[in-house]
Amino acid sequence: MTVKNYYVHLKHPHTTERKWIFPVAMGFMVSLYLLVSTTLTSPDGTTLLPLHRYYLSSAAATSIFVESKFKPIPVSNLPPPPRLAYLISGSAGNGKMLRRTLEALYHPNNHYVVHLDAESSAEERLDLYKYVNTHSVFRVFKNVRMITKANLVTYRGPTMVANSLHAAAILLKEGGHWDWFINLSASDYPLVTQDDLLHTFSILPRDLNFIEHTSDIGWKESQRAKPVIIDPGLYMTEKSDVFWITQRRSVPTKFKLFTGALWNYWFCFAYYGSQPVCFLCAKCYLLSLNELRA
């Protein structure tokens, strides 16, 4: 710095320091003008300095979003889905397999009875009992029950029929309302989901029985209606296969044989009917045809 500049600086010390005041003052005045212009109105009610705001039309705005291209799903007019009742039976060594089948078939809308026969060990039955009573989902919906008193079941004889009737009695007494009864073993596994099955059955009348349209039962007449068997499970403590009698019975002439499924109305007739013949009729019907699966 020269001596001249030094003396000029001493004479005007604040000139350079105040150069920023002018731009700030101009910016403040412009801002104040815009604020006053937009808030004050003219005598005709319009603003002195209108500011135009541009908005997208509703159609243009909605077309931007992908959700606008989705069509709403119409409300279904189908009646409420039916309730199915399942009996899942197993024998010795089938505990894990039975649980697998139960989990694959499970739906909160249905009812289930599980049974391990007397051939299984007490430990295996206890494990199944704990599984049913401690499962978090089963405890919420309370639609899974176990036959705690194990039956001795021969799976081709009347003891199987008695076990099915035992399970149906539990379902009628404790399971509430249900429409169709399906008897399965621990080795069975579904091919469709329960949601698909219930959706398909929704259009069917609840009193519909899946009975064959003809009494010409074909091979079932010689294989199921005529044979006479003895089930050792009725009088023995250990399970063994049925005995086939060489003599065969004739086909009844007072009524015709039809094969069909088990459904709620039939069990209600068998258990709640006023005549003693109701239960006997149901047992004879099941025993003669041995059609235990829906």
Q: What is the mean pLDDT of residues 92-108?
A: 97
pLDDT band for position 62 (cuts 50, 70, 90): low
What are the φ and ψ backbone dihedral angles of 180, each rounded to 5 degrees?
-130, 150
What is the number of other CB atoms lying within 10 angstroms of the CB of residue 267? 20
- Residue in this structure with the two tokens 């019975």, named with its chain if needed: 249
pTM here?
0.65
Q: With contact defined as beta carbons under 8 Å apart, do 66 and 91 qualify?
A: no
User: How much is the pLDDT for 274?
Assistant: 60
Instruction: Measure the CA–CA gap between 250 and 221, rounded to whole angstroms.
Output: 10
Instruction: Measure the CA–CA gap between 66 and 282, rounded to whole angstroms.
Output: 59
Exposure letters 183-221 (e unless 16+ CB within 10 A, then b):
bbbbebeeeeebeebbeebeeeeeeeeeeeeeeebeebe
Per residue in 110-127, pLDDT (tens digit) is: 999 999 999 999 999 999
Min mean pLDDT across 47-56, 66-75, 134-143, 244-253 is at: 47-56
Domains annotated on the chain, with CATH = 84-289 (3.90.550)
User: How much is the pLDDT for 293?
Assistant: 36
Q: What is the mean pLDDT of residues 188-207?
A: 91
- Residue in this structure with the two tokens 């001493």, named with its chain if needed: 10
pLDDT band for position 77 (cuts 50, 70, 90): confident
For 107, how many CA atoms within 13 A lie in the half-sphere containing its CB? 18
**Better-scored residue on pLDDT, 28 or 249:** 249
Written as six digits, the tokens of 229 are 């068997």
